[in-house]
Amino acid sequence: MTPASRERSGSSIRIVSHRDVFDDLGRGESCPVGDCHHSAATVRMSPTDMEAMQIEDGATIELRTDAGTLVARTCADTSCQPGFGYMAVGPTINVLTSYDPDRSHLPNLKVVDVEIRVTGQPATTTTVTPGPSGVIEEINAQAE
């Protein structure tokens, strides 16, 4: 894992994953909240970073690592530290994570450095198909 103080370019960010009970419910079992899948494909970011990167609240961005690419919706959150984005742990973010024993003993499931690119303006409605792969494919399709 690289140090937190590592310098980043303007279009990169460090994503921290965390447990989200609503994503967990929707992914594994029955979901009492209709749009819980949205939380899996949402990146919460510092408004300072979003302003610097000219990202509007709710815009879709492309997150890219060597392992894969994911399109997710942004959400401005003043509790987020600049330089970091926060996403629910699970199969959606695991498109971006990887395991390289030469770099670390464990996979980078909790902290992953990503390059970001704005792909769309804030959407008012999004149709999301249940299922982890469905989330990615549907939102990708919308961004295109």
Name the residues that contact other proteins, by CB under 8 A: 1, 3-5, 14, 16, 18-21, 24-25, 27-32, 67-68, 79-81, 84, 86, 89-91, 94-95, 97-99, 101, 104-107, 109-111, 132-133
If you write DSSP's letter for every residue of 23-89 in order, what string do you get?
HHHHHHS--SSTTTHHHHTEEEE-HHHHHHTT--TT-EEEEE-SS-EEEEEEEE-TTSPTTEEEEE-
Smaller CB distance to other proteins: residue 105 or 127? 105
In angstroms, give the least distance from the CB of 121 to other proteins. 27
Nearer to other proteins, 84 or 118 (CB): 84
Nearer to other proteins, 94 or 120 (CB): 94
Closer residue to other proteins in complex, CB, 64/110: 110
Provide the minimum distance between the beta carbon of 125 and other proteins in the complex, in angstroms, as a whole number: 25
Comparing C-alpha atoms, which of 108, 135, 119, 136 is closest to residue 11?
Answer: 119
Nearer to other proteins, 31 or 76 (CB): 31
Residue 97 and residue 109 in contact, taking contact as beta carbons nearer than 8 Å? yes
> Per-residue b/e over 96-114, b at no fewer than 16 CB within 10 Å?
bbeeeeeeeeeebeeebbb
- Rounded Cα distance between 119 and 34, Å, is 25
Q: How far is the CB of 92 from other proteins (least distance, A)?
A: 9
